[in-house]
């Protein structure tokens, strides 16, 4: 019987266990440069089978929140290199999540104060975070502009360049493409946010085109065995929806199957919310079956609201990896606590976004 604590493989990555630290935005990177305490933060959690970093902007245009890290400058890459060394010194594996937020941004965060970009000029009914004078404040997103057709190859190139920089310069073990949660690639996928009438809009095949082009470019840059992808079929996060999500995402995973990805990371239900959404039913076993039937061999990672009992059931039912989010904020030794069935620390929500060491690197671990 498989367990959470078995060693496992995800493409080229050999993992000590099936427990994954999910990406968690923490807004502690002024000027998009990970701070020195990020080395401690990630190294503390290196007993996870795999660490996925907080979402990290592939370009200045791709940034949507204050004080989130980037991958597009030498200072950023140098700082990330120190993080990866710290994790590797602890025997851990770490990948970086590649992020372009699209319309989920604000003029103040964009180059020269310009409009955020999107598949269509439809403002997201959601909030972003600006940090001014050290205080995080939630504000409405700005009105976006639709990307010109001629700009799209540049987006694809930037994803690939960021992936190459992440692996070859910063020393990451791989990358995860953020195709979820209502950010740029997800905005193109879903017909509620994509109203284009060119080759990137309309049919399922057209709306999936950008995500698939990006994924092929990233696998060409760093190898499929070092590439994962995150998808969220029905989450309402950041004001996205699709009229036929089952058909859309089964098409997507069938196309991904031939790319020999390290893993497919699926958010079940509403990100950070209920695992079942009454008005958005979805058959996740059918999604996995479609991927496997098409020849997909990447590890299948499940995410959203997992506790130990639910995670163990998921593994028994065939999940390869289980991602934990908020529990990892307050429990750097989550693997050890789960193994011992020890109580978990409660995260301090007041320190989730912005700040320093408090609520970031000061949570206690189990006595030695």
Q: Answer yes or no: are the C-beta atoms of 53 and 97 closer than 8 Å.
A: yes
Domain annotation covers residue 304: yes
Active site residue 183: yes
Residue 135 confidence (pLDDT): 85
The whole-number average pLDDT for the span 133-141 is 89
pLDDT reported for residue 132: 81
Question: pLDDT tier at 133 (50, 70, 90 boundaries)?
Answer: confident
Among 65, 183, 291, 353, which one carries the catalytic annotation?
183
Q: What pLDDT does residue 134 have? A: 79
Structure tokens at 186: 């997800």
Domain assignment of residue 203, yes or no: yes
Q: 51 has which bridge partners?
A: 21, 94
| Each residue's pLDDT tens digit, 166-210 | 999 999 999 999 999 999 999 999 999 999 999 999 999 999 999
Residue 310 lies in a domain: yes
> Which residues does 95 contact at the CB level (< 8 Å), separation at least 6?
13, 50, 51, 52, 53, 172, 173, 174, 175, 176, 226, 228
Residue in the block written with tokens 């990805």 = 261
The whole-number pLDDT of residue 131 equals 85
Strand pairing report for 8-10 and 13-15:
antiparallel
Q: Is residue 318 part of a domain?
A: yes
Amino acid 47: pLDDT: 98
Q: Is residue 363 part of a domain?
A: no
What's the CA gap between 347 and 331, in Å, rounded?
8
The model's confidence at residue 1, banded by pLDDT at 50, 70 and 90, is confident
Residue 267 host element (H or E): strand 263-267
pLDDT in tens, 247-306: 999 999 999 999 999 999 999 999 998 898 988 999 999 999 999 999 999 999 999 999
> What's the pTM?
0.98
Q: Rounded distance, CA 150 to CA 64, Å?
A: 22
- 357, part of any domain: no
Considering the domain boundaries, does residue 360 fall inside one?
Answer: no
Q: Tokens at residue 223, please? A: 């190898």
Query: Could you report the per-residue pLDDT of 35-76, keeping only the tens digit for each?
Result: 999 999 999 999 999 999 999 999 999 999 999 999 999 999
The whole domain housing 286 covers: 8-351
CA distance 366 to 197: 56
Q: How many domains does the chain have?
A: 1
Say whether 8 sits in a helix, a strand or coil. strand
Q: Are 103 and 117 in contact (CB under 8 A)?
A: yes
In a domain, 359, yes or no: no
Alpha-helix residue ranges (DSSP H) falling in 259-307: 284-293
Could you tell me the CATH number of the domain that includes residue 245?
3.20.20.70
């Amino acid at each position: 019987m498989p367990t959470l604590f078995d060693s496992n493989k995800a493409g080229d990555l050999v993992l000590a266990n099936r427990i994954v630290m999910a990406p968690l935005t923490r807004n502690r990177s002024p000027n998009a440069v990970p701070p020195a305490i990020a080395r401690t933060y990630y190294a503390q959690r290196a007993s996870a089978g795999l660490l996925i970093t907080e979402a990290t902007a592939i370009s200045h245009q791709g940034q949507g929140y204050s004080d989130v890290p980037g991958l597009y400058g030498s200072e950023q890459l140098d700082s990330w290199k120190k993080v990866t060394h710290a994790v590797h010194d602890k025997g851990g594996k770490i990948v970086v999540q590649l992020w372009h937020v699209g319309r989920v941004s604000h003029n103040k965060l964009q180059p020269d104060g310009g409009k955020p970009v999107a598949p269509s000029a439809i403002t997201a009914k959601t909030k972003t975070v600006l940090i001014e004078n050290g205080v995080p404040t939630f504000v409405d997103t700005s009105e976006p502009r639709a990307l010109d057709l001629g700009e799209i190859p540049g987006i694809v190139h930037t994803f690939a360049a960021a992936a190459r920089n992440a692996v070859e310069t910063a020393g990451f073990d791989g990358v995860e493409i953020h195709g979820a949660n209502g950010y740029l690639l997800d905005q193109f996928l879903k017909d509620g946010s994509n109203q284009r009438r060119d080759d990137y809009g309309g049919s399922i095949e057209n709306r999936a085109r950008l995500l698939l082009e990006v994924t092929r470019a990233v696998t060409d840059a760093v190898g499929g065995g070092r590439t994962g992808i995150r998808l969220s079929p029905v989450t309402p996060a950041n004001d996205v929806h699709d009229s036929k999500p089952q058909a859309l995402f089964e098409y997507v995973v069938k196309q991904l199957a031939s790319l020999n990805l390290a893993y497919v990371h699926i958010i079940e239900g509403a990100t950070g919310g209920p695992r079942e959404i009454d008005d958005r039913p979805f058959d996740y076993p059918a999604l996995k079956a479609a991927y496997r039937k098409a020849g997909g061999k990447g590890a299948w990672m499940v995410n959203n609201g997992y506790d130990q009992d639910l995670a163990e059931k998921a593994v028994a039912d065939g999940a390869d990896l289980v991602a934990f989010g908020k529990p990892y904020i307050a429990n750097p030794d989550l693997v050890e606590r789960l193994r011992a069935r020890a109580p978990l620390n409660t995260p301090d929500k007041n320190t989730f976004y912005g700040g320093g060491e408090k609520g970031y690197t000061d949570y206690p671990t189990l006595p030695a």
